[in-house]
Each structure stands twice: as structure tokens, then as C-alpha cells.
Structure 1
């Protein structure tokens, strides 16, 4: 079941956050626990939040999303900052479930566009994401 994270879920996410960041950066960035917690709390304080995949009180993965206003286009833009599935639950399609749930959530909140701040792969093309040069 995918739901919004509560404070207990957040503590579990934070306890695994260093691994998530290292994997997301292909181990080029090795943050301290305190750094990662600061980044997470700052994003949450600005309005971002986690959706989690949990079954029988067992956290399997999460996705960090946020909404920002594009004042040039005069619309809200959804952002996916992080998608992470704990290693023992990988290969079951949970990342796709989380991304689809995030897109649905952001769409319901008025976002016609969703951007991602995660490594580009064919996986995201499959879900309809396109690469734009900036």
C-alpha cells in the first residue's frame, strides 16, 4: 500500500538515507548522516513529502516529491527528488509503483508537468519521461 509517510516512517527513511544518496550518486558523494538529514528536513519544511510503499508495517521503499511554481508558464510543476527501494525488495516493480503513485498524486494537486532529479535511464523513458537539455 502506498501512503504518505508519518513521523515513524520518516525516521526509518532517514536511517537509510545515506545508502540511498550514495546509490543515487553512483557512490561519488559520501555524505554524513547529519548532512542527509538536514537536506531531507529542509525539503520537507519547504512542502515536500514522502510517499511510501509499506506492507504489513514493513517499509519497502519511498519517493520524495514536491511542487514548485513555474512563474513563466504560470503553472505548478511536480518534482521527484528521490526514489528508493530497499535492496531486499528490488526486482518486484516497486519503483514503478511509487513513480506512478507520485505522478497521480502530483496530477491531483494540479501539476501538468513532472520533472525528476534522478539518473536518466530507459526505465524513465518507459514511464513517459523525456530528456530536455538545459
Structure 2
């Protein structure tokens, strides 16, 4: 196992998966639309965010986006995990867990007191997040009109 910061080239390669990541992580709520899915992470990267990659030999098999966001309710800047993805062939091997733990360590080093992420209803990753100590803070609801 080797977890490290992604190079600029690797960030560009990861961004080619953006539509797949959005479609899977939102449980199909957000349709596979490359223009919409390419907007979030570049903004986070431009604001000092980064990707950590999990390497197997010379191949990236998973990554986690790490950034920060301002919480208007608490008036604090908090750590942010905007994206976590493991290639299907490498899932259920502890890679996501290792990436998140590494991200937490980096965020602690940067003196963040909290980290937040968003998980869509029905996403099985929520069980991993809860196992790692995340808890529900709010529920976003919607109604078709």
C-alpha cells in the first residue's frame, strides 16, 4: 500500500472519472453529465484542496479528495471530503478506509477540528462513514412540483 498526494497529471486523470464518480456516489440522483460533474473538484483543488491516491504498483486504484469549507452555522472552516472513489475491482479490501484515515491525519496536521462529507440516501458507503465516527447532521429533503 502506498498513499500519497496525486501529481498534476494524476489529478487530470482522476477528473476523467468525474461523471462515473458522481453517478455512483449520488445513487443515480445526478445523471452522468460530464459538464456538471467537472465543476466541483477543480474549484476545491484551486482553493488548496488535493487528492490523495492509493497506489497498487504503478496504478491508482482509489483516491480521496481533501479540502475545506466554511460552515455558516458554526462560523468555522472545516475539513471536507468531497470525493472518495475506489475502482470496482479493488473494493472491499480496506482501501477506502485507509484513504479516509490518511485524510483525517492530514486534516489534523492542518489543525482542523472537524471534517464533513455528504452522502446520498442509499449509498452503502454511509456504513463505512458511520464506522469511522461520522454522524448525521442534517437531512436535505425535496419534493417534485
- Shared fold (TM-score, shorter chain, > 0.5): yes
Match of residue 125, structure 1, among 107, 122, 130: 130
Instruction: Give matches, 1:1-134, under 5 Å.
Output: 1-69=2-70, 75-119=76-120, 121-133=126-138
Any stretches of 5+ residues in structure 1 without a counterpart?
none
State the Cα deviation string for residues 47-91 of structure 1 (Å, max 9, x = none).
Answer: 211111112210000111112355875654111111100111111
C-alpha RMSD of matched pairs (Å): 2.0
Counterpart Cα distance in 1 of 2:127 and 2:57: 32
Change (3 A) 1:27 1:109: same
Structure number with higher helix proportion: 1
Asked whether the 8 Å contact 2:67–2:81 carries over to 1, the reply is yes
The whole-number CA distance in structure 1 between the counterparts of 2:19 and 2:102 is: 24
Q: Name the count of aligned residue pairs.
A: 134
- Cα drift, residue 46 of structure 1: 1.6
Residues in 1 aligned to 2:70 and 2:58: alpha-carbon distance in whole angstroms = 35
Cα distance change of structure 1 residues 74 and 22 upon mapping to structure 2, 3 Å threshold: closer
Relative to the length of structure 2, the TM-score reads: 0.81
Query: How far did 1:32 drift?
Result: 2.6
SS at 2:16 equivalent: helix
State TM-score, norm by structure 1: 0.87
Unpaired runs of 5+ residues, structure 2, are 140-145
Q: Distance in 2 between matches of 1:71 and 1:87?
A: 36
Residues 27 and 120 in structure 2, CA contact (< 8 A), matched pair in contact too? no
